[in-house]
Chains A and B, each alone.
Chain A
Amino acid sequence: MTVDFSRMQAPLPLIEDHGGPQQPLLIASGLRKEFRLSDGLFGGRTVVHAVDDLSLTVGKGETVGIVGESGCGKSTAARLIAGITPADDGEIIFDGESFWTPRARIDGERRRAIQMVFQDSASSLNPRMTLTETLAFGPRAHGVSTEKARAYARDLLGAVGLPPARFAERYPIQLSGGQRQRVNIARALAIRPRLLILDEPVSALDKSVEAQVLNLLVDLRDQLGLSYLFISHDLNVVRYIADRVVVMYLGQIVEEASSADIFAAPRHPYTRALFASKPSPDPRKRVSAPPLTGDPPDPVNPPSGCRFRTRCPIAESVCAASRPPLAAMDVGGTGHRAACWAALPGSGHSLSPRVPASVLGSVQ
């Protein structure tokens, strides 16, 4: 399935570029979100620190992958960036202009600049709308005529591998999980965003459809100049699609590097455990003990210092004392950063690398 989007008659215009190629498309800084649980054991005072001081950048045409513990706040971070869930604190700069701050929210045209494909594909489609109606809805809300929107909807269905002759008039319940996910992707594309946030977009797909969707996303990126924020638990998929990878643990970023660097040489112990947990497709090479044991800590009461220390195989006293900064791992400026005392020269951790003082000076 190769798609030629240039031949499709998109009813909405492209959103104009303002900042030029050097300006990152998205700069998120200091994002914070707490959930207050209404009631429960502790009588209305429970606070979940779902996202805690998270900053990330997405370049134009760049794909940034986010991986991490389940429950570490990936979906929450995505919703904060898309402006679906209001943040407690932080700021989003989109193409050089303020997109939102906790006080000022998104306006008209920019509302379509960032679109999101949700993790739970079943519950995010309206069960009473046919697929054509579903895909035409967004463009119509942005002023496109019903007729044009419906025609484009049919084109899009074809583009994501659901021939309109068979699928146009179906309802979501009449689809398999994989088919529904392709509708979700098509719906997000229908209003021509510049940044597409994909929350586990291929986890419900079989491998042949997954390959189709990944190839489709690559085509779209090349033809439409899209940028992606790609959340996935499948490390093989992230390695394939992402230019840069961000690893999260308990609401914070613990490591960040180019895809090539991080898979070649992960620096944070959680990243290493994550990579070691990936099952092999050879039944003779089964895992007998999980690389990482212990309970993920409760986000209501995160551990002091390094949040990974309760499960980290190399934790030392310095790890409980203070939080390791997300620091550069190299002098060359390849952008590999990790938040671990054991990887930081002069931290007092016994495994901390010994570096000549001259080099140390340029790192800090």
Chain B
Amino acid sequence: MNIHDPLSASARAGASAPILDISGLAVAYRGGAGWTQVVRGVELSLDPGRCLVLLGESGSGKSVTLRAIVGLLREEGAKVEGRVRVGGQDVTSLTSAELLRMRGGRVGFIFQEPMTALDPVFRIGHQIAETIVQHRGVSWREAMAKARELFDLVQIPSAERRLQAYPNELSGGLRQRAMIAMAMSCEPELLLADEPTTALDATVQIQVLLLLREIQKERGTAMVFVTHDLGVAAEIADEVAVMYAGRIVEHGDAGQVLLNPAHPYTRALTNCVVQGSYRDRRLGELTGSPPDVSRLPPGCSFAPRCISRADDCLRTEPARRDMAPGHDVACLHAGSLSASRPD
């Protein structure tokens, strides 16, 4: 039942201190009537050099979780509880100046929409060099040379000319690669990537994924990688965590979660995927509407849409428990559901 995954077994053996350690993370935004809890107790730990892929429902809190890691939520007026440690350092206790130093230094960030991170009025090369000067204190010339190197690293053609371009003069794909270059500029220990390859065509996407895998291996960079594409997840993940309604509902090695999903939500998700020739067939959909995080039902949040729901699901909020070594699931009945999903 358990598929041996040679890609991740070795890396897990190391007993080094985690580069990222999140416990009890809860995030609320001020909504119409009081606070809305959008992240509700995320527990996550990641060892150096490992790549964790975050999958999950749109609106389940993936991007918010990433922003919490670099302390960006404070500026958004969110209420944040719980603990986030990066390399042993408690992010919640850092001053704004320390946070700025951490972002783009120790931690690199690749955003879902590159235009939110790139300033439209400055040339790309200028923006990258600026980051390098700020964090490394090197000269402008050295920084520009480094920026040029980074453009080669992420395979931006005609690097010299593209460094001079303004963000809106680049195609979506080139902008995304420029973002990756910027995130790598200070050789971070932890790279946070929010859907970094959705703007890329398949031939470039696979190159970028291989590139990130290489960076991860050679520099020991740990990664948290958000994607909706199960193919991308399969290509890059050591571990996969699945979020639903502000919580992690399943976590395990890539092989365990993608090939043997145990949570009914993960199973439904893997069944919605368009593959091969599906023409003229209605795609599988999750029944019911996405959860309203401001009014979650008691018990399991997935219960209103779950095909395996039983009576106790409406009373007890399931805690995460181990299905197999390294594979845990927040579902009361996961163990008794059939071992592999129907194909």
Q: Are A300 and B158 in contact (CB under 8 A)?
A: yes
Q: Are A208 and B232 in contact (CB under 8 A)?
A: no
With an 8 A cutoff between CB atoms, is B171 at the interface? yes
Known contacts: A177-B113, A214-B274. The answer to whether A205 contacts B207 by CB under 8 A is no
User: Looking across the interface, which residue of chain B has its beta carbon closest to that of A48?
Assistant: B169
User: Looking across the interface, which residue of chain B has its beta carbon closest to that of A177?
Assistant: B112
Q: Are B231 and A279 in contact (CB under 8 A)?
A: yes
What is the bound-complex CA distance between A205 and B284, given in angstroms?
15
Q: Which one, A10-18, A236-244, A335-343, is touching chain B? A: A236-244
Instruction: Return chain A residues, CB-CB under 8 Å to B209.
Output: 279, 287
Q: How large is the interface on B (under 10, 10 to 19, 20 to 34, 35 or more residues)?
A: 35 or more
Known contacts: A207-B269, A290-B210. The answer to whether A282 contacts B258 by CB under 8 A is yes
What is the bound-complex CA distance between A1 and B290, given in angstroms?
11
Q: Are A41 and B160 in contact (CB under 8 A)?
A: yes
Q: Are B198 and A203 in contact (CB under 8 A)?
A: yes
Q: How large is the interface on A (under 10, 10 to 19, 20 to 34, 35 or more residues)?
A: 35 or more
How far, in Å, is B153 (CB) from chain A's closest CB? 13
With an 8 A cutoff between CB atoms, is B334 at the interface? no
The 7 lowest CB-CB distance pairs between A and B, nearest first, are: A70-B173, A178-B58, A71-B171, A279-B231, A295-B157, A277-B202, A211-B283
Interface residues of A in 295-326 (CB under 8 A from B): 295-298, 300
User: Looking across the interface, which residue of chain B has its beta carbon closest to that of A298?
Assistant: B158
Q: Are B231 and A208 in contact (CB under 8 A)?
A: no
Known: A46-B161, A67-B201, A279-B205. 7 other contacts (CB 8 A): A1-B285, A176-B58, A239-B277, A274-B203, A279-B235, A282-B259, A283-B237
Q: Are A283 and B258 in contact (CB under 8 A)?
A: yes
Contact of B228 among A72, A210, A240 (CB under 8 A): A210
Q: Are A211 and B274 in contact (CB under 8 A)?
A: yes
What is the bound-complex CA distance between A123 and B285, given in angstroms?
29
Contact of B58 among A46, A209, A218, A274 (CB under 8 A): A209
How far, in Å, is B47 (CB) from chain A's closest CB? 18
How far, in Å, is A45 (CB) from chain B's closest CB? 12
Interface residues of B in 16-39 (CB under 8 A from A): 29, 32
Instruction: Return chain A residues, CB-CB under 8 Å to B278.
Output: 239-240
Contact of B292 among A122, A166, A218, A263 (CB under 8 A): A166
How far, in Å, is B62 (CB) from chain A's closest CB? 9
Contact of A278 among B174, B198, B200, B231 (CB under 8 A): B231
Instruction: Return chain B residues, CB-CB under 8 Å to A273.
Output: 203
Q: Are B207 and A290 in contact (CB under 8 A)?
A: yes
Contact of B155 among A176, A177, A295 (CB under 8 A): A295
With an 8 A cutoff between CB atoms, is A40 at the interface? yes
Contact of A177 among B63, B201, B233, B269 (CB under 8 A): B63
What is the bound-complex CA distance between A42 and B233, given in angstroms?
42
Known contacts: A176-B63, A283-B7. The answer to whether A233 contacts B199 by CB under 8 A is yes
Q: Are A70 and B230 in contact (CB under 8 A)?
A: no
Instruction: Return chain A residues, CB-CB under 8 Å to B269.
Output: 206-208
Interface residues of B in 149-164 (CB under 8 A from A): 155, 157-158, 160-161, 164
Interface residues of A in 202-226 (CB under 8 A from B): 203-212, 214-215, 218
Q: Are A206 and B157 in contact (CB under 8 A)?
A: no
* Overall SS of chain A's interface: loop
Interface residues of B in 258-293 (CB under 8 A from A): 258-259, 268-270, 272-279, 282-286, 289-290, 292
What is the bound-complex CA distance between A286 and B206, given in angstroms?
10
With an 8 A cutoff between CB atoms, is B100 at the interface? no
Interface residues of B in 282-317 (CB under 8 A from A): 282-286, 289-290, 292, 294
- Mask: chain A, 255-281; 1 = CB below 8 Å from B; 0 = not: 000011001000000000111011111
- Mask: chain A, 179-218; 1 = CB below 8 Å from B; 0 = not: 1000000000000000000001001111111111011001
Instruction: Return chain A residues, CB-CB under 8 Å to B276.
Output: 236, 239
User: Looking across the interface, which residue of chain B has its beta carbon closest to that of A212?
Assistant: B285
Q: Are B231 and A280 in contact (CB under 8 A)?
A: yes
Instruction: Return chain A residues, CB-CB under 8 Å to B164.
Output: 40-41
14 A–B contacts from the bound complex (CB under 8 Å) = A35-B169, A37-B165, A166-B294, A203-B199, A209-B57, A214-B274, A233-B201, A237-B274, A278-B202, A281-B234, A283-B237, A285-B234, A287-B209, A296-B157
Q: Are A287 and B58 in contact (CB under 8 A)?
A: no
Q: Are B199 and A208 in contact (CB under 8 A)?
A: no
What is the bound-complex CA distance between A35 and B161, given in angstroms?
14
What is the bound-complex CA distance between A212 and B268, given in angstroms?
13
With an 8 A cutoff between CB atoms, is B104 at the interface? no
Instruction: Return chain B residues, CB-CB under 8 Å to A42.
Output: 161
User: Looking across the interface, which residue of chain A has its beta carbon closest to that of B268?
Assistant: A208
Contact of A277 among B174, B206, B259, B274 (CB under 8 A): B206
Contact of A236 among B63, B254, B274, B286 (CB under 8 A): B274
Instruction: Return chain A residues, CB-CB under 8 Å to B229.
Output: 234, 279
Q: Are A119 and B172 in contact (CB under 8 A)?
A: yes
How far, in Å, is A167 (CB) from chain B's closest CB? 10
Interface residues of B in 209-264 (CB under 8 A from A): 209-210, 228-235, 237, 254-255, 258-259
Q: Are A70 and B234 in contact (CB under 8 A)?
A: no
Q: Are B172 and A75 in contact (CB under 8 A)?
A: yes
Instruction: Return chain B residues, CB-CB under 8 Å to A72.
Output: 171
User: Looking across the interface, which residue of chain A has its beta carbon closest to that of B234?
Assistant: A283
What is the bound-complex CA distance between A178 and B206, given in angstroms?
23
Interface residues of A in 112-130 (CB under 8 A from B): 119-123
Q: Are B283 and A214 in contact (CB under 8 A)?
A: yes
What is the bound-complex CA distance between A174 and B29, given in angstroms?
9
What is the bound-complex CA distance between A248 and B271, given in angstroms?
31
Contact of A298 among B115, B157, B171, B259 (CB under 8 A): B157
Q: Are A123 and B115 in contact (CB under 8 A)?
A: yes
Contact of B206 among A119, A207, A239, A290 (CB under 8 A): A290
Instruction: Return chain A residues, CB-CB under 8 Å to B158.
Output: 298, 300
Q: Are A259 and B172 in contact (CB under 8 A)?
A: no
Instruction: Return chain A residues, CB-CB under 8 Å to B59.
Output: 175-176, 178-179
